[in-house]
Amino acid sequence: MIPIVLHEVGLRDGLQMERQSAPFEHKVRWAESLMESGIDILQLGSFVHPEKIPQMADTDRLFSHFSASGRKPAGVLLSGLVLNEKGMERGYSCGVEMFCMGVSASETHSRKNTGMSTGEAMARIIPMAQEVLRSGKKVQVSVQSAFGCGFEGPIPLERVLSIVRRYLDGGLSNLSLADTAGHANPAQVKEMLDELFKLNSQIEWTGHFHNTYGLGLANCYAALESGLHTFETSSGGLGGCPFTKVAAGNVCTEDFVHSLQRTGERTDIDVKKLIAVAKDLSTFFGRDLPGLLYKTGPLGDTFRS
């Protein structure tokens, strides 16, 4: 059985949407707890200009902190989002282990997010990703707004396939499908993955689903049934892209893990630690979060003691 891989993105995709910036010490505490829970990949932040997204102003410092010997479990991979060459150089300098970058299948979203067309972004991202591979680091490239766009509506499947083909032609095979606007439905997820797996059965696929319209978990399971095994989720269900029309949270990490554990999957992850992080985030921001499990508690026989 292929193991399910959890990529926690709350400290980046979650916190970037918050008006209130969290202190460095809080981020360190949340990151430590998330890593101790047993997740596989932790995204500490994004390398963007602090004036554009001030919540990410201490990303370099976070990576430097956890890159120091003994400050993270050996089995956890640290990932960071980069948008351009300058961000990539910053990532090299502070210890990023997996670089995440991508382009949008929506021209409107691409211009709002990066100031470039999809074609212009592709011409920039592919050489960057290839450079990361040459450096010996891991890289993941994504197709954002792969299932729909709040500005443009449905995205033609062929447009997604075209972007994926260009990635594959560039020697890139660690790919993420991002439902940036939360428009995906399970039937669409299965249809798209069926077509994408025909291109190359060896692709390392990751699913990044948003819960904007309540289908996040359903889409994860549709993807899982279609053969995708890596998922990006967010503590407490925080998150959303600030450059899409309706920004809403990601699939909630602890809710997804709990659902997996009910069928015997990923019982090695300590869901109680995930719940504690979500509760702490809720207290810090002074409001209820989209996630459910931190409010209800887990079923008694599903979590690691």
Kindly provide the b/e burial profile for residues 179-199, where b requires at least 16 CB atoms within 10 angstroms of the residue's own CB. bbbbbbbbebbbebbeebeee
Which tens digit of pLDDT belongs to each residue from 200-215?
A: 888 999 999 999 999 9
The catalytic site residues sit at 241
Phi, psi of 82 (to 5 degrees): -125, 145
Distance CA 276, CA 274 (A): 5
* CATH H-level superfamily of 5-296: Aldolase class I (3.20.20.70)
Low-confidence ranges of the chain (pLDDT < 50): 245, 303-305
pTM for this structure?
0.94
Distance CA 234, CA 14 (A): 6
Q: Which two tokens stand for residue 154?
A: 């449905």
Largest CA distance in the chain: 51
Distance CA 275, CA 224 (A): 23
- Neighbouring C-alpha atoms within 13 Å toward the C-beta of 31: 28
Task: Give the pLDDT of residue 120.
Answer: 92
Task: Give the pLDDT of residue 239.
Answer: 81
Task: Give the pLDDT of residue 305.
Answer: 39
Task: Give the pLDDT of residue 116.
Answer: 87
Which tens digit of pLDDT belongs to each residue from 134-169?
A: 999 999 999 999 999 888 899 999 999 999 999 999
| Alpha carbon distance, N-terminus to C-terminus of the chain | 24
Distances, alpha carbon 85 to alpha carbons 34, 78, 81, in Å = 29, 19, 12
Task: Give the pLDDT of residue 270.
Answer: 97
Q: Which two tokens stand for residue 269?
A: 């992850």
Task: Give the pLDDT of residue 28.
Answer: 97
